[in-house]
Amino acid sequence: MIPLAKSTRAVLKNCFDLKPDESLLIVTDKSLADVGETIWKTAIRISRNSLLLKFSNGTDNQLPEAVQGALAQANACLILTSKALDEQTFDKARQNGSRILVLQNATRTLTERTFETNYKKITNISRKISDLFSIGKSLQLQSPSGTEAWLTISRIKGIAETGVVQQAGEFASLPAGEARVILNHKYINGVVTIDRVAGTKKLANPITLNIKEGEITQIKGGQEANELRKAIRKFGPAGRQIYEFGVGTNPCVKLGNSAQEDEKALGAIHISFGQNKTTKVHAKMVQAIKGILLKPTLRVDGKLIVENGKIVV
C-alpha cells in the first residue's frame, strides 16, 4: 500500500488541482486526528494556506456551526469523519464556492485505501458510462444468481462519481468510482437477486427481490431475507422503492472492506432502496440500503456495457 503522505499528494493534485495560492481546510473529528495531521503535513508543502481543524462536538449528522462557517471561507475543503453526514451541512460552503471532498464513516485504513486510486482512469470510465446512461432509453440487467430486470432511463441524466472537485462549489464523496442514475422508481420491473448488502459479508444465500413498477413486492431467501425485511421497515413505505442504480468503476477497492467500497468496486452493480434520512427523535442518519450484484451483465439500449462483472466499453 502506498504511504498515506504520498497518496494524499495525489488527492490534492488530481482531485482538487490545488494551487499554491489557494487555501485548503482539512477537517477531522477527534478519532481521526492523527490522519488529519499526516494529511496536513503533506498539504502544507503544496499550499502554505493549509489548515487543520479538529472538532469533538456536533450532532451525529451535522458538523458544528463554527466548522460549517470555516468551510465557507476556504477554496478547498477535505473532510474526514467517523460518522455519516447530511449533505445539507455543506450547503453554505458550496454556495460560497468552496470545493468539497468528503470521506464519511472513515478509519485510517479506509483513508489509505481510498486515497490510493487512479483518478484519471476512474474519471474516464465513470464519465463514459454515465454519458451512455444520459443518452440511453432502457437498461437490461442480468446476473448468474437469477437477475432479469428492465429499467427505463429515458430523460434521466447519468451521474459520474469521479472524486474530482476542480470547479467552484463542486462536491464529491470518497471513495470515488461510480456511474449511476437516480431512477423514476416506477420504471423498473423484473427480478433482482442480490449477492451481498453493502457493508456486510457475502450473503449465505442470495436474496431475491420481485419488483413491479419500482416497488419491491416480494423478498425471498433465508434468514438474511428476514433481516432485510426488518431493515427496510425503518424507512416506511418508501423502503421498498428502488431509487438508484449504479455501476462501480474503481479498480483499487475490493468488496468486503466497507459499504462505501462495495458500491464502487469495479464491475459490481448495486441498486439502492430506503433513501438516507435523519430521524426526528435522535437526529441520527439512517443510511440507504444498497444491494450488490456480483458478476452482472448490463446492456444499454441493447449495447453491452458490463459482461459477467467486467466493463467492456
Stretches where the chain sits below pLDDT 50 are: 277-286
User: How far is it, in rounded angstroms, from Cα 76 to Cα 166?
Assistant: 9
Determine the pLDDT at residue 43.
Answer: 97
The number of residues making up the chain comes to 313
Determine the pLDDT at residue 212.
Answer: 95
Q: What is the pLDDT of residues 211-245, one digit of tens each?
A: 999 999 999 998 999 999 999 988 888 889 999 99
Please report, for the chain, the start and end positions of each structural domain, with discontinuous segments joined by +: 4-115, 119-311
Q: What is the CATH number of domain 4-115?
A: 3.40.1830.10
Distances (CA, A) of 227 to 170, 185, 230, 232: 37, 23, 5, 9
Determine the pLDDT at residue 60.
Answer: 64
Determine the pLDDT at residue 282.
Answer: 36
| Contact predicate 102/230, CB 8 Å | no
